[in-house]
Amino acid sequence: MTYNAPLKDMLFLVAEWIGLEKIRGLRGHEDLDRDTVEAVLNEAAKFCVNELLPINREGDEIGAVLKDDAVVTPPGFKEAYDRFVEGGWAGLDAAPEHGGQGLPKLLQYLVEEMLAACNLSFKLYPELTRGAYHLIDAFGADEIRERYLPRMVDGTWSGTMCLTEPQSGTDLGLLTTKAVARDDGAYAITGSKIFITSGDHDLTDNIIHMVLARIEGAPDGVRGISLFLVPRSIVNEDGSLGERNGVTTGSIEHKMGIRASSTCALNFDEATGFLIGEVNQGLNAMFRMMNMERITVGIQGLGLAEIAYQNALAYAQDRLQSRAPGERPDPDAPADPIIYQPEIRRKLLRIRSQIEGARALAVYTGFLVDVLDRSDDAIMRDEAGGSIALLTPVIKSFLSDLGVSCTLAAQQVFGGHGYIREHGMEQLVRDARITQIYEGTNEVQAVDLVTRKLTADSGSIVKRQLDYWDKFFETHEEPAAILEPAAGALANLKLATNSLQGSLESNRAHALGAATEYQRLFGLAIIGCIWADIVVSINDRDGDFYETKRMLARFYMEQVLPEAASLTEVIVGGADALAEFPVDYLT
């Protein structure tokens, strides 16, 4: 398994497509230059390729192991983690006052892609720490922030997110973990949590658990949930570690993929916890971390798709089989590399055209997050926040679906060799599968998109997004081979959006029955619009890189985007067949 980070494309998206001048217009990023962006991406690529990729397969084979009530990570993980924190990667987008580098989120997202491509299991250990850091920074009291955040930024301590219970998954209103107030202002937390990523491990001195629980006497349902910081070990007044808290690891899950990542069942037995945010407002606070993770999970799928593509491409260039029906590199050879077979070339182009469009969507969203965090313009912040909320379920679902479909397609290029362990493709397929499930299944994301995002601010948020692209196509007409199909997909998206908004009022079940199809349509159409924007932005530029972009955009329009029309037909006119089919007839 090999990997070469797509640095040229990444740098193009940041420095040319988004534009450094836009990023420098945000508070704290005034001095960002191309050399800095390039250096960060180059160094991240070196770390991922040299440190993480070599331990990925062995980590998968050995896995995380529970030994003497503690989790032991696979060989090489502790050493790689130490080099990870030494390189400052744990605090890339963290605030300088906590020891972080304060770099833009869109750079963080590109580093996340490289980490996921080379070793998703490893990536998950610092990933949850970053989410917990930003959650505590946003809602924690000053004393909590001062005590915990610097140690999380320097990588000495890590973090988790503890929501799910055996009887309470997506419906968090059913959770039963309880919190009892103590005289010293802390709380005693008692209950069990499952599926806790990085719930226990040997990489850091302490683990900071972000736990949802219900204070005694709180209202039923989600309105009675509070959020608590529960350290694995108690932190003394001077910052040193004291006795072990009442947190134990009950078991670790034996999973289909990401086997080197410790997914734990945790038991809290009157563990000391500290309230984060307001009483009974825990779910609202936790959504900050959850939504960050949803975008990051989509980027995981993107990274896995990229490394799968690269290895399938290399294999297709070397594997000789049959004579190609058209162009042949050697007319006298008995067989040609399979990349000359139209079906193999189509698979590879389908993967790449979607990857590069999806990467642009991720970078665009990262820029919106930077605008939300750092713009001095209140209107820009408000609009960015609305767009992020709208795009989050789309990125999570579309990019994770892409990770699965692309790793499967790349595995297919290998034929029988892709099914055995030797080439590593089967691990990519297994690792990618979880991205469609955790942080809210893609079906949950679809329901959220349709029921909440399409109705937010009386539908004005989605209208603003669609109007923006309408104006783009009114302004630009050439090249027609790219812009016309993209504008057609946008028209389909508008039609489907109006249809579902009407169904939500007249027949909610019809709207929910089309949610997954709508979510995919949204992703396909928006990426089509983004491809159109990229092509317009490079209209006067020559060279192989830019010509490849134009050709990939054309392929996307001709071979991928036509699916938007059939999805629209299902969304607008296919509800009755689903609604009228009796459940009993499924048995």
The strand pair at 226-231 and 263-276 is best described as antiparallel
**CA–CA separation, 303 and 164 (whole Å):** 26
Catalytic residue among 113, 356, 439, 517: 439
Determine whether 459 is exposed, middle or buried from the number of CB atoms within 10 Å of its CB (0-12, 13-18, 19+).
Answer: middle
CB atoms near residue 480 (< 10 Å)? 9
**CA–CA separation, 396 and 194 (whole Å):** 22
Instruction: Indicate the SS3 state at residue 443.
Output: helix
Contact (Cβ atoms closer than 8 angstroms) between residue 244 and residue 233: yes
Beta bridge partner(s), residue 157: 206
Integer-rounded Cα Rg, in Å, for the chain is: 24
Q: Which residues contact 464 (CB under 8 A, 6 or more apart)?
A: 383, 386, 387
Residue 357 CA from chain centroid, whole number: 15
The strand pair at 263-276 and 187-197 is best described as antiparallel
CA distances from 313 to 245, 307, 329, 335, 382 (A): 50, 10, 16, 18, 42
474 is catalytic: no
Contact (Cβ atoms closer than 8 angstroms) between residue 421 and residue 427: yes
CA distances from 128 to 110, 170, 199, 290, 439 (A): 17, 19, 10, 10, 11
Amino acid at site 149: L
Tokens 């999973």 correspond to 255
Instruction: Indicate the SS3 state at residue 212.
Output: strand
Give phi and psi for 25, each to the nearest 5: -80, 0
- List active site positions: 439
